[in-house]
């Protein structure tokens, strides 16, 4: 079965992102495929390279990155939601003339069309809402 996940919550603010991560791990362990994980709304903060939780707490952005590297996952952060909230890649930082960019390696910024495409191409779309 091919899944795509829609993650709507920021790490730490809401449990949704952590639930999505556990689901992804469990699905992969069962041999299912994950077509895409799409981060929307406050979920864009999952793609921050600058999140610095205390060492005894879960560093979800880092775990997403590691999972993506291990399984070649497509982690897409909604570009419109991200730039509004200050999650930028190098291109967007240049475009908006910002002094820095903070999109974590393993994530990419792209449009909402990637969510629609994921829903069309996958057997199931699972939303982790906040």
Partner 1 sequence: MTLHTLNRPPSDRALLTDCLAALLADDTLLLLEDGVYCALESLSLPTGVRCVALAADVEARGIGSRLPAGIEVVDDAGFVELCCRNDRVLSWF
Partner 2 sequence: MSKSKSFLIISRRPPYGSSHARDALDTALTTAVFEQPVAILFQGDGVYQLLSGQEPGGVRQKNLSATLSALPMYDIDRLYVCARAMAQRGLDQNDLVLPVEVLDDAGIAGLIRNHDVVMNF
Binding site for partner 1 (CB under 8 A): 1, 3, 8, 15-16, 19, 22-23, 25-27, 29-30, 32, 124-130
The first and second tokens of residue 97, run together, are 């003339």
One of 50, 66, 80, 105 touching partner 2 (CB under 8 A): 80
| Given 78, 82, 103, 118, the catalytic residue | 78
Q: Does the active-site annotation cover 58?
A: no
Enumerate the β-bridge partners of residue 4.
36, 125
Q: Cα(19)–Cα(98) distance, rounded to whole angstroms?
A: 33
Q: Output the smallest distance, CB 118 to partner 2, in A.
A: 10
Q: Cα(105)–Cα(66) distance, rounded to whole angstroms?
A: 10
Q: Output the smallest distance, CB 127 to partner 1, in A.
A: 4
Rank residues 67 and 88 by Cβ distance to partner 1 and give the closer one. 67
Q: How far is CA 104 from CA 69, 73, 123, in A?
A: 12, 14, 28
Q: Are 14 and 44 in contact (CB under 8 A)?
A: no
Binding site for partner 2 (CB under 8 A): 6, 40-41, 80-81, 111-113, 115-117, 119-121, 125, 127, 129
């Amino acid at each position: 079965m091919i899944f795509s996940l829609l993650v709507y919550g920021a790490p730490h603010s809401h449990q949704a992102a952590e639930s999505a991560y556990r689901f992804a791990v469990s699905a992969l362990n069962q041999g299912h495929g994950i077509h895409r994980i799409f981060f929307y709304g406050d979920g864009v903060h999952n793609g921050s390279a600058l999140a610095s939780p205390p060492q005894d707490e879960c560093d979800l952005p880092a775990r997403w990155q590691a999972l993506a590297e291990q399984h070649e996952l497509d982690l897409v952060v909604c570009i419109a939601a991200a730039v509004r909230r200050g999650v930028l890649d190098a291109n967007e930082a240049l475009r908006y003339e910002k002094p820095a960019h903070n999109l974590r390696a393993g994530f990419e910024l792209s449009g909402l069309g990637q969510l629609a495409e994921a829903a069309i191409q996958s057997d199931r779309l699972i939303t982790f809402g906040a």
